[in-house]
Chains A and B, each alone.
Chain A
Amino acid sequence: MTAFLEVDHVDKVFPLANGGRYIALKNIHLEIKQGEFVCLLGHSGCGKSTLLNIVAGLDKPTQGGIILENKQVKEPGPDRMVVFQNYSLLPWKTVRQNIALAVNQVYGNKSTKERRAIVEEHINMVNLRQAADKRPVELSGGMKQRVAIARALAIRPKLLLLDEPFGALDALTRGSLQEQLMKICQEHKLTCLMVTHDADEALLLADRIVMLTNGPESHVGQIINVPIPRPRQRLEVVNHPSYYALRGDIVYFLNQQKKAKKRQVKASAIIAGNGLEKINLEIGFIPLTDCAPLVVAKEKGLFAKHGLTQVNLVREPSWKAIAEGVTSGRLDAAQMVAGMPLSLSLGMGNQPPSPTVTALTLSRNGNAITLSKKFYEQGVRTLADFKAAITQESDRVHTLGMVHPSSMHNLMLRYWLASGGIDPDLDVKLTVIPPPQMVANLKAGNIDGYCVGEPWNSRAVYENLGFVIATDLDIWQSHLEKVLGVKEEWANKYPEAHIALVKALMEACEYCDDRRHREEILQLICQPNYVGSAPEYTRPGFIDPYNRGTNEPPEMLLEYNQFYVNKTNCPSRVEGLWILVQMARWGIVPFPRNWIDILDRVRRNDVYSEAARQLNLPGLEPERTSFQLSDGSVFSPDNPIEYLQGLKIKREIKIEEVEIDSLVVSL
């Protein structure tokens, strides 16, 4: 079936007074299904109203066109009725006359009586019986907008276009009008296209949110599907597990657009110096205890010591933002979850492959699986208990949070669940939530538990919201956790800066693993511009004995946050293979038949060894051997495909040749 409405590669160019041209919209392509509610979101001046006017036919596209039900839109018409931002009621007509003007015009073939009945029906629908004979000047803003909506709905448009209809209203009126609109749309199965700049409004009303980038040459930056079921209630929407993640995405997008505008003013120059190609680096991090090496390298002057004198640590809201930042070149380097360089290089989730490399593992361990306290009260102590608990409540969907599909949290949580006979896709539901938002979601009851790095487990324990059922030491002792990720193109362009960065961070890691420094590091990372957490719940595991929030006494876990010892830092290829295998197991990426090439390419042992050599540190890759996980299973680097096929709980495994030549970056 073809789309109900198709915005077909629309460009809009305005001629300027000085003879120049302003390209407002560039290559906008959008398809809308019948009955769908789509919001256009963007900063003011991004051209979203222009796009709406083009759909309405009030404005003509310079290129491309609008197709409604297989017919090209050439002029405005009542089948695409618009609810304008400033109501556009005729001030010399009463409420009834304003609606009647539209009804009489569109239903010219109906009898006077029928038309009057339609007008009265719609006056009642928006509850304006009392004001039917008043002129717009006597109405409040909310009432005027209701008249405009009634006028639009009375003529049964195929497509309802709304241009920031609630922008000028107070919050209370806006809320009730949003609910009325939602109800009417639901009842009449209307197809709507609405322009707004309010993320919450878009999440409440829309099935899909189309976000436009800032002009000039505004285009569709991102489309977000809102999977919240209908009919929606405001509170249910706000409490939906994906609400904050979606909202975070939207706010992040808008902030990026704002920053992009500023950046256009000061294009970040490449500053070379100290024998390095680039010394001004933007490095992204996520507020977690294991961002400590980055903080230490910055605060203790280790970046500067190795010539990187202008390093800026950028606190990012989510791992997705980190991935976007490195891919787009906004960030030079970033703290990444272990699987991210691989998943970006392979093109996870139908993204184009963006070759990304890692030359350093920043930390090991430091994760835990927290479950809601209610399970503890039900007597859940082990994985088997948890399985029993969720089987008992089989009519309820149990949702667990993790931070990114390619993160160790996701892979280990899945591994752990599967080892207990729980299918992580069928028996429970996993959802992506940025680390700092986990506790809030657990508290709101949106999720039943999560796997995340510290201090977000200890915080739930500290607030008595949850208990730690397993730390990662219980699953895979000394697994790799965070890595340093840079774009392959960047690594090839600035090889000396890359080595300097690795050296600075290796020294920082060494500093972090000296337990005498831990108190000092705690003070550093608890600063608000870094993790910003309270020391009370940042200490457990990092310095103090680890409290699981159970009856057991806190236990000293010396390897819980491991930054340097036992060859922590080597980007070992065998571990990379484990990640590839696990990601293939859950259908996150296909397993690359040419996995040896991929691993060589992504996990840059050469850079690591060179950095180690320059620091007079041992920089050899660990032996290429099998290793055993805590459940007793052995992972052998020689037969990954055999291993995959031997697994009981898994998705359909795809094995593909990933065209490595396509990864070659033109220099």
Chain B
Amino acid sequence: MTANLDNSVKKPNFFTSLIKNPPRKILAPLCAILFILTLWQVLCSGEDANLPSPIETFQDTSDLIFDPFFDNGGTDKGLFWQILASLQRVAIGYTLAAVVGIGLGILIGSNAFVYDAVDPIFQVLRTVPPLAWLPIALAAFQEANPSAIFVIFITAIWPIIINTTVGVQQIPQDYKNVAKVLRLSGTKYFWEIMFPAAVPYIFSGLRIGIGLSWLAIVAAEMLVGGVGIGFFIWDSYNSSQLSEIIVALIYVGIVGLILDRLVAWIASVVVPSEQQQ
């Protein structure tokens, strides 16, 4: 009885206090969003506006927003399926990039000769924009899907390689000395010292890589077609569904943020706080 009473008393108190004294972290972004929406509404509410206003957008796309799971076959699918398809491509390409990138990075970082040999090449290749790889990929794979995955792979791999290389090169001399004095063998050195010491760098590479992957997938899908958020946007543009584009953009942004935070969270779990940068 008393417990119930307590709860019934406390809860309203908590919420009322939140409403009365909302934390700035919540209040400030809300204000900004409200301001932007208002501005947008004002700018786009004219007769000859090229873009829909927020209210129009909401009205046009309410079924898209409230039912992301519909599937009418072909490319006519809900946003959930579109994004899932894109995420699948990213997952495959990014995983490949992570495995190959970390492996190559360790090899390059631990061998000065290999580093000197390939570093200039990598410095040139990493500046090539992701979409520039697409024609070559299409020519090589003859198929849309593997080409898109390859673009993801080639986009994400450079930061992973470069960061892993730096991580291995920057292993503190202290740790190397410990390994030398204890005469740790090659594999033991790898698992006990080199890999754990390079982990923080590897994760910063992975985090940059996931961001770039998600940037690249939208552009790549626009060109290769099929199910996917990129093609959805392009398709909507072709059918003049501007409201759908706006909703899709918001989704893309939110998913990108979630991906970035996910990798950051994994890093915070895996990397000891002493090593975190």
Chain A interface residues toward B at CB < 8 A: 56-58, 75-78, 80-82, 84, 86, 88, 90-92, 101-102, 105-106, 135-137, 155
Contact = CB atoms under 8 A, between A and B. Distances in A.
Contacts of A75: 180, 183
B177 A135 contact: no
Given A90-B192, A105-B188, A82 B181 contact: yes
B275 interface: yes
Interface residues on B, range: 10 to 19
Nearest to B178: A88
A581 to B, nearest CB: 58
A137 B178 CA distance: 18
Interface in B185-226: 188, 192-193, 196-197, 199
B22 interface: no
B272 A91 contact: yes
Given A86-B174, A101-B192, A135 B182 contact: no
B257 interface: no
Contacts of A84: 174, 177-178
Given A75-B180, A78-B182, 18 more contacts: A57-B180, A58-B177, A76-B180, A76-B181, A84-B177, A86-B174, A88-B174, A88-B178, A90-B178, A90-B192, A90-B193, A91-B274, A91-B275, A92-B196, A105-B182, A105-B183, A135-B274, A136-B274
B175 interface: yes
Contacts of B177: 58, 76, 82, 84, 88
B190 to A, nearest CB: 14
Contacts, number: 57
B275 A92 contact: yes
A419 to B, nearest CB: 62
Nearest to A84: B174
Contacts of A80: 181
A287 to B, nearest CB: 48
B258 interface: no
B184 interface: yes
B273 interface: yes
Interface centre among B175, B181, B275 (most CB of A within 10 A): B181
A101 B182 contact: yes
B272 A135 contact: yes
A106 B180 contact: no
A90 B175 CA distance: 7
A543 to B, nearest CB: 65
A183 B177 CA distance: 27
A613 B111 CA distance: 82
A81 B275 contact: no
A102 B192 CA distance: 11
Nearest to A152: B181
B116 to A, nearest CB: 18
B183 A78 contact: yes
Interface of B: 174-175, 177-178, 180-184, 188, 192-193, 196-197, 199, 272-275
Nearest to A161: B181
A565 B273 CA distance: 81
B15 to A, nearest CB: 38
A105 B183 CA distance: 8
A237 B275 CA distance: 42
B97 to A, nearest CB: 25
Q: Would you list the 3 A-B pairs with minimal beta carbon distance, nearest first?
A: A137-B274, A88-B174, A91-B274
A136 B178 CA distance: 15
Contacts of A82: 177, 181
Given A58-B177, A105-B188, A90 B182 contact: no
A106 B182 contact: yes
Given A82-B177, A90-B175, A77 B183 contact: yes
Nearest to A56: B181
Contacts of A78: 181-183
B149 to A, nearest CB: 33
Interface centre among B180, B188, B193 (most CB of A within 10 A): B180
Nearest to B196: A92
Nearest to A103: B182
Given A90-B175, A91-B272, A92-B275, A58 B180 contact: yes
Contacts of A92: 196-197, 199, 272, 275
B277 to A, nearest CB: 13
Contacts of A101: 182, 192
5 contacts: A78-B182, A84-B177, A88-B177, A105-B182, A105-B183
A101 B191 CA distance: 12
Contacts of B192: 90, 101
B133 to A, nearest CB: 36
A606 to B, nearest CB: 64
Nearest to B271: A92
A591 to B, nearest CB: 55
A120 B184 CA distance: 22
B181 A77 contact: yes
Contacts of B199: 92
Nearest to A58: B177
B177 to A, nearest CB: 6
A115 B178 CA distance: 19
A105 B184 CA distance: 7
Nearest to A148: B178
Interface centre among A56, A57, A105 (most CB of B within 10 A): A105
Contacts of B273: 137
Contacts of B178: 84, 88, 90
Contact of A90 (B180, B183, B188, B196): B196
A82 B197 CA distance: 20
B274 to A, nearest CB: 4
A152 to B, nearest CB: 9
A78 B183 CA distance: 7
A155 B182 CA distance: 9
B181 A81 contact: yes
A76 B183 contact: yes
Given A88-B174, A88-B175, A58 B181 contact: yes
B18 to A, nearest CB: 35
A179 to B, nearest CB: 26
Contacts of B197: 92
A88 B181 CA distance: 12
Contacts of B175: 88, 90
Contacts of A91: 272, 274-275
A84 B175 CA distance: 10
A555 to B, nearest CB: 70
Contacts of B272: 91-92, 135, 137
A101 B196 CA distance: 14
A21 B164 CA distance: 34
A57 B180 CA distance: 9
A76 B183 CA distance: 7
Nearest to A86: B174
A611 B178 CA distance: 69
A56 B177 CA distance: 10
A136 B188 CA distance: 21
Contacts of A57: 180-181
A350 to B, nearest CB: 39
Contacts of B181: 56-58, 76-78, 80-82
A106 B183 CA distance: 9
